[in-house]
A and B are shown apart, each in its own frame.
Chain A
Amino acid sequence: MDDSKRLVTMANQIAAFFKPYAEEDAIKGTYDHLIQFWDPRMRVKMIAHVEAGGDGLSPIALAAAKLLKKPASAA
């Protein structure tokens, strides 16, 4: 599995957990998880993936990933 595919899988897994909650809460839960547990370079890659169309991301994962901002300390 290449790196971007793996990140898409991981983001979709997180979104799948939060999916039973109200959509707004699910997106926030997914976004918070990405911020709290993903190293900046992973988030930068995800931002790039979203900018390239976000292929493979579930609707909740895509919505959460769109909220990501490029971290100041990205390596």
Chain B
Amino acid sequence: MTHAVPGRPRLGAVARKAGGHVVRGLVMIWVVATISFVIIREIPGNPVLGQYESLIQKGMSPEQAERATAVLYGFLPTGSLWEQYVGYMGSLLHLDLGRSLSTPGVEVTTLIGHAARWTVLPVLAGTLLSFLLGVTMGVYAAIKRSGKLGDMLALSGSLLHGVPVYVIGLLLTAIFATLWPIMPSGGPVDVEFVPGFNAGYIGSLVHHAVLPVVTYTLASYGGWILAMKSNVVAVLGDDFILAAELRGLRRGFVFRYLARNAILPLFTILALSIGMLFGGSIFIEQIFNYPGLGLLLVDSISSRDYALMGGTFLVITVGIVVANIAADLLYTAIDPRVRSGGAA
């Protein structure tokens, strides 16, 4: 073993690792962009050509139709495939994803930016809430696993884990918006409030976000509690916990040894699931009519808005790639075994 300063995070190594990740991430994004470029051209009925031809049928001259299509898609529908590809990549570099068809003239990036607001915050809140809740309950379920309460907690986790997210969402709407209407049934905010930083608007935002956030929390809570429970049980069986007890360590220290070792693998999953939230939760956003990325994707597919579709896919890809990098770097930062290059 050779290490300059044993035990200390070696910043050079971490930076090198991060650099490698970024390069790999960029390659990944480029590959996905290329694939979606090709797919949009290979989809039966070639939407680009279809657009072009329908514009001609509407009475445009070929030059006009070509320009109009180019504006819509961000690249020339004619010319060699290579020219089109270079054009597409060039505009990508300028973060230009083209213009939407279904909302004519509006840039795809603008639409995605608007939708992202309605997705990122609620789903982030739901993810973190269910993570905290599930991990805490998981520890409890593991420690009390031979008792009734532990059994109940584990059972609640298994049951919730098995219920599809749309069933939870529909049940919650049925109960809290129809049967006992204390919550709005959908939409992101009441229209009567002036958007801005005022109590009424923000209150309405929060009020509308409650059910989607609770749905998301309940949907992933089961997974967290089960994962944490099994991790805690596994670490409890490790010798270093018994060794810590036999050295007379305070319960607080032993608990911290236990919790930190058990929660470590879950951080990767957490980072990944935060990446997935860029895809939005299609079911939740449909049930609650929440204008997020998931709903945007569904709408773009049903209206055959290929530019928007491609753009949304690309944003989801970037989100997941970034989350993957974050998860790996996070692991490097918190696990000394990974940090030193996996000597063990």
Determine if chain A interacts with chain B.
no
Residues of chain A touching chain B, judged by Cβ–Cβ distance below 8 Å, are: none
Residues of chain B touching chain A, judged by Cβ–Cβ distance below 8 Å, are: none
